[in-house]
Amino acid sequence: MQQRRPVHASSLTSWVKQYNQRPCLLTLLLSSLAVAALCSFLLPPAQFSTKGRTAESMSNFSVDSPLVEADDLAAPRKLLTWGEARAKALKTAALLTQQETYDLVHGFLAPANKSDPEQKQLSGYYVGNTKPLKRLGIPALKMQDSHNGFRASDPGEAGTTTQWPCVLALASSWDDALVQEVAAAIGREFRGKGANVMLGPAVNVHRVSRGGRNFEFLSGEDPFLGARLTRAFVLGVQGEGIMTVVKQFAFNEQETNRKFIDAGVSDETAWELYYPPFQAAIEAGAAAVMCSFNQVNGTHACSSRNLLIRDLKDKMGFNGFVMSDWEATHSTGAIASGLDVEMPNSHWFTQERLLQGSYQIAVVEAAIRVLTSVFRLRLDTDTSCEPPCMKERGSNVRTAAHLHLARKAATAGIVLLRNDGILPLNSNSIKSLAIMGLGANSNDSSNAGSGSAYAGGGSSHVVSPNVVTPLAGIRDRAGKAGVMVRHYLGNHVYTAQQLAAQVDVVVVVGATVTAEGWDRRNLSLDDETNAIIDGVCNTKPTIVLLETSGAVLTPWRDRVSAVANLFHAGEQTGNAWASLLFGDAEPKGRLPITFPATEVDTLLPSIEAGVRYSEGAFTSYRSPTFKAAYAFGHGLSYTHFSFDRPQLAVGTNCSAALCVRILITNVVAAQAPKWCRPICTSRGHGCRTPHFSCVASAGRGCCSAARSKT
């Protein structure tokens, strides 16, 4: 069954506001102008502030972890087809005992560590575990968080895995090849740690700008972007023989009262805006989907037959299994409504309860789905440890190649929002700079709950003792350029102004930190950073570097020389910033979300039990009333382009109803990105979303836009 395609918009606010009531043809012609304009770029709360977490203050993070010399590179794993895997699962299911069948539909809690109350479970186990069926060669499922890297949760394990850029930083690259490359590398680290299931990626489309987990959501604010990147991520991870568990399905777009809210969403809004990334994951072969805590239209997501059977398994064609979020199962009957595995243990899916409810057919079908995913990824052919996996969990899987890739990915995620020409810095004219802001030298937090500006907080937080702080990265690169660096890490405006008067340029690092379990109180920078920016921007040219968990307000944006944003970018953050400032890398990131002009230009987390998605698809850039400081898709580079006039392509040169071609030429010497990223909006009137293709060379490129027949 074909569903409505998602809508998309240009980052040009003035154009977005004009097209709402236009007929299809005029909308497309306006879209061609947006294509040209976009191709010109060519593509928390105070208690969790960064105060006191400076590099000097964290003595337990003072020594870099060693690196493994070589990466375990191999060709992507050849997977079975779903049909082949299902046939094998049916044969195996016929051999299962009753107990083995029930063991497949729930996890188990790892043994408690009685000798160390602070460590909740014994080492060598995983966040989620199922029992192996040794008689039949079925391995245990060993599940670990998450899409930002393997979360080291055993004592002494911190620093043995890479702290990668968060998936929202990856989304800022708009580069599905890079996303797949990073995902594959994360998959290899999971495999090296003995795990075979990643509890991710999270692909929800942002709805609430203050969302506490927005940095975890790969889709940003756009279903089409989310679908493209989700497909790449799933292929990358599963090519390494690691199951992906795509989450959170569905409508888990806020943390406030996340376990209790009832999301009221129409089918039209679901399919147009929130489902496409999940659909893409299924088309890419995702092994599992995680259902969320909240209710959807009056029924818990993990008990919703409409959600799990009608939409996910039937309409989307999902062949894998559905697992619950931790303790998100609310009834034994959920197994008949599409839930296949209860996690983290069996409370509702006990053998006694399932037998009493006469759910035998549903139990067998759930077991077959689990086996199907196991066989499709050929996990039964792996030489895999059975928990406790002490050797694997104690191994070091950080490699030099992974650090290089982490730096590449972090740099690709930088979005240059404003530049009056000060960047890249010219060491012939700029001899000194001052780095300011509490975030400039904050280190990572060993407390996943509070998080950090490098990795956010919550279950996806990968603790790293090895972060390159902005101060360290910029100071090292500046030294090579002969530029003197001074710094002030406090929040007293007068002191900052005194230092600013003594240097040529000021760099202010501002951050926001949030975590799973709570939404942000506002969209301002943490640690009174706005006051520092206001205090120094009229004294000397000021560059603002933002390390954020989502959208932020930028009330000083017109008074500073440059602004760049980098969503939580992992342990190579400081080196990425240095590459931007000194022109070692061409900025090519684009915002996957909107930075609003004011708080009024956003949807707020609801404190009501019933959360009505009454705005439909009109969130973010799709809203006819929200104003943007920096719109979805915005991003500058260090070069400039000229365009020919848009031309209609007809006849054999166009395979769709209507095509538009634009010739783009790089007119300066700076290296440009090798692709352009046109974005187009189609709203109402039965119009389908245009499809785009671009070809670019060193100096010239061509973008084509084609509209499908309605």
DSSP letters, 271-338, are: IIIISHHHHHHHHTT-SEEEEPSSEETTEEGGG-HIIIIIIIIIIS---SEEEEPTT----GGGGGGT
368 and 283, same structural domain?
yes
The residue from 622, 637, 652 where one domain ends is: 637
| Of 56-70, 124-138, 336-350, the least confident | 56-70
Is residue 22 very low, low, confident or very high in pLDDT (cuts 50, 70, 90)?
very low
Distance in angstroms (rounded) separating the CA atoms of residues 479 and 165: 26
Token look-up 């640690």 returns 527
276 and 399, same structural domain?
yes
Mean pLDDT over 309-320 rounds to 98
Residue 132 structure tokens: 């192996």
What's the pLDDT score for residue 229? 98
Distance in angstroms (rounded) separating the CA atoms of residues 245 and 228: 17
| Contact call for residues 338 and 304 (beta carbons, < 8 A) | yes
Distance in angstroms (rounded) separating the CA atoms of residues 291 and 301: 6
Instruction: Output the domain CATH number for residue 246.
Output: 3.20.20.300
Say how many CA atoms lie within 13 Å of 385 toward its Cβ.
19
Q: What does pTM read for this prediction?
A: 0.86
Residue 601 structure tokens: 């230009």
Burial of 94 (0-12, 13-18, 19+ CB in 10 A): exposed
Single-letter residue type at 428? N
Mean pLDDT over 483-508 rounds to 97
- Is 76's pLDDT higher than 90? no
Distance in angstroms (rounded) separating the CA atoms of residues 178 and 172: 11
pLDDT tens digits, residue range 218-260?
Answer: 999 999 999 999 999 999 999 999 999 999 999 999 989 999 9
Residue 133 lies in a domain: yes
148 and 65, same structural domain?
yes
The residue from 586, 621, 637 where one domain ends is: 637
Distance in angstroms (rounded) separating the CA atoms of residues 160 and 157: 6
Active site residue 325: yes
Angle at 324 between CA 338 and CA 119, to 5 degrees: 160
Is residue 654 very low, low, confident or very high in pLDDT (cuts 50, 70, 90)?
confident
DSSP letters, 173-184, are: TT-HHHHHHHHH
Q: What are phi and psi of 68, to 5 degrees?
A: -80, 140
The residue from 576, 610, 637 where one domain ends is: 637
**For the range 15-18, what are the long-range contacts, defined as Cβ-Cβ under 8 Å and sequence gap of 24 or more?**
16/621, 16/631, 16/681, 17/624
Beta-bridged to residue 65, according to DSSP, are none
444 and 320, same structural domain?
yes
DSSP secondary-structure letter at 301? G
Residue 411 structure tokens: 């740099």
Mean pLDDT over 154-162 rounds to 94
Mention every residue, 6+ apart, whose C-beta is less than 8 A from residue 215. Answer: 166, 167, 168, 169, 456, 514, 548, 549, 550, 567, 568
Percentage of the chain beyond pLDDT 70 is 84
Q: Which domain holds residue 694?
A: 13-40+639-707
The CA distances from residue 63 to 466, 489, 669, in Å, are: 7, 22, 42
| Contact call for residues 513 and 44 (beta carbons, < 8 A) | yes
- Is 54's pLDDT higher than 70? no
- For the chain, give the mean pLDDT: 86
Q: What are phi and psi of 545, to 5 degrees?
A: -110, 120
Annotated catalytic residue within 71, 145, 325, 340: 325
Quote the number of domains for the chain: 2
- Is 104's pLDDT higher than 60? yes
Burial of 179 (0-12, 13-18, 19+ CB in 10 A): buried
The CA distances from residue 365 to 140, 288, 359, 465, 521, in Å, are: 19, 15, 10, 45, 44
What's the pLDDT score for residue 447? 81
686 and 537, same structural domain?
no
What's the pLDDT score for residue 695? 36
